[in-house]
């Protein structure tokens, strides 16, 4: 890549915008993705993204060059200045059937987008959560990684179109709180931050990982737990987070309301340190 122009899409390092109809990502969701925030020519939380990508590659037994991916990310970020990069890795083309081809060749897709445009009021005033009926199934082999099978999230997000709701709460079939449709969740109770365990399902968001590490480093107690819905409702503060928007305080779910508290503001300040 020698031109200073930012490509809309690269496939295996070359400008392109099409994959083969036999691609296993298209046919089976056989692959991974990462969505990265670019600001001031650099990628927020790049080491966290690379660590999660490596976990996903190992879980799915994909062949991929992590160093090459990181090099492409940094080059694109420097040329973009600000925006969003989405990496998609698929297992490549194959014949009909689930069996992994012996000669499978991973396809690497890098897409470049303008900066995400979320209302500033979400961070300033907090958001209302929609209570989703869609439940997440347990699959420990896939828990935590950003695999391409996102139909549960698609269905959950399709449950509302009312702009008063910025996010939706998603539980598993046992009724345990897991996450929101595009972000992770933290609840403060008795002076401790609780975040749902993601051992069975859900995505280990990079902002979640960063905040857990930073809050613990600053003396906060943070625990990963099987979060009951009743415990969520009894929390003193709530927030959701991801690597694009940072932290949004949660002020309402159904008939329950919460203040935008000082501890959520502190988490927000930690997030803003890396998503300037």
* Known catalytic membership, residue 146: yes
Q: Cα–Cα distances in Å, from 136 out to 61, 150, 152, 204?
A: 24, 10, 7, 14
Phi, psi of 233 (to 5 degrees): -65, -25
Which one is catalytic: 34, 167, 179, 220?
179
Site of tokens 């969740």: 185
Distance (Å, whole) CA 248 – CA 124: 8
Distance (Å, whole) CA 250 – CA 187: 10
CA quadruple 138, 143, 145, 151: dihedral, nearest 10 = 10
Residue 187 contacts residue 174 (beta carbons within 8 Å):
no
Which one is catalytic: 34, 35, 88, 152?
35
* Known catalytic membership, residue 34: no
Site of tokens 């401790």: 192
* Known catalytic membership, residue 90: no
Which one is catalytic: 88, 146, 167, 237?
146
**Packing angle between helix 206-217 and helix 46-60, nearest 10 degrees?**
120
**Which residues are the active-site residues?**
35, 146, 179
């Amino acid at each position: 890549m020698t031109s200073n122009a930012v490509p809309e899409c690269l496939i295996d390092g070359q400008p392109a915008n099409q994959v083969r109809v036999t691609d296993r990502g298209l046919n089976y969701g056989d692959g991974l993705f990462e969505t990265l925030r670019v600001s001031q020519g650099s990628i927020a939380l790049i080491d966290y993204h690379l660590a999660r990508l490596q976990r996903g590659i190992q879980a799915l037994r994909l062949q991929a060059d992590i160093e090459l991916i990181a090099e492409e990310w940094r080059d694109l970020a420097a040329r973009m200045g600000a925006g969003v990069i989405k990496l998609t890795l698929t297992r490549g083309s194959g014949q009909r059937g689930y069996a992994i081809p012996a000669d499978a060749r991973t396809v690497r897709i890098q897409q470049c987008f303008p900066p995400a445009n979320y209302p500033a009021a979400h961070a300033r005033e907090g958001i209302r959560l929609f209570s989703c009926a869609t439940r997440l199934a347990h699959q420990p082999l896939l828990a935590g990684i950003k695999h391409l099978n996102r139909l549960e999230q698609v269905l959950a997000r399709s449950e509302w179109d009312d702009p008063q709701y910025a996010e939706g709460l998603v539980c598993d079939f046992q009724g345990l709180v897991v996450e929101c449709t595009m972000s992770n969740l933290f609840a403060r109770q008795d002076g401790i931050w609780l975040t749902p365990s993601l051992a069975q399902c859900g995505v280990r968001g990079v902002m979640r990982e960063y905040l857990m590490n930073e809050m613990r480093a600053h003396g906060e107690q943070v625990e990963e737990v099987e979060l009951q819905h009743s415990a969520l409702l009894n929390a003193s503060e709530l927030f959701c987070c991801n690597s694009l928007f940072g932290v949004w305080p949660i002020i309402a779910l159904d008939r329950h309301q919460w203040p935008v508290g000082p501890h959520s503001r502190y988490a927000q300040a930690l997030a803003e340190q890396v998503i300037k």
